[in-house]
Amino acid sequence: MEKSADSAPSRTRLAFDAFRQALERGHTDDFLKIVTEDFHFFVPLPLEGWNHKQKGKVRFEELVKFERSLFQMQLIPLVVLENENNGMVVFHAEGPLNGRFFSNELVIFFEFEAEQVRSFREYVGMPLKNYETP
């Protein structure tokens, strides 16, 4: 079941590459083409309005705009796992955040419905509160 980032299963790799392109470059089209109509997600943002289940393509675009306004990041996949219904990528994220250098390992867990992404949940290694401005 375990694969290196370079030999990743195509469905999980495709989803992560599209997710990465959205967050690194602001191009959400490729990711939104592969999500289901009932797409939803959870992100580890300790902010009101983001600290619960998020639904839909528009909300994903809002997330990308919000994160890109604060953080110019680079995402580097480290480990990819996949089974029949799910895919998981451990990745490294780095870049400036609130005037400080951010570096962390995160995990994104995709739930698939056939070849489409039904949902994702992101987990962060270090609390983002450590990067808030004093």
CB atoms closer than 10 angstroms to residue 1:
7
Tokens of residue 105, six digits: 């390992």
**Pairing status of strand 35-42 against strand 116-124:** parallel
Q: 1.10.10.10, 3.30.70.260, 3.10.450.50, 1.10.1040.10: which CATH number matches 2-131?
A: 3.10.450.50
Q: Where are the domains of the chain?
A: 2-131
Asked whether residue 3 carries a pLDDT value surpassing 80, the answer given is no
Per DSSP, the three-state class of 9 is coil
- pLDDT tens digits along 98-109: 788 888 899 999
Q: Specify the higher pLDDT residue, 119 or 71.
A: 119
Range with the poorest average pLDDT among 12-16, 26-30, 124-128: 124-128
State the average pLDDT for the chain: 88
Q: What is the rounded CA–CA span in Å between residue 123 and residue 113?
A: 21
Residue 130: per-residue pLDDT: 47
**Bridge partner residues of 24 (DSSP):** none
Work out the average pLDDT over 47-51: 90
- What values do phi and psi take at 8, rounded to 5? -65, 145
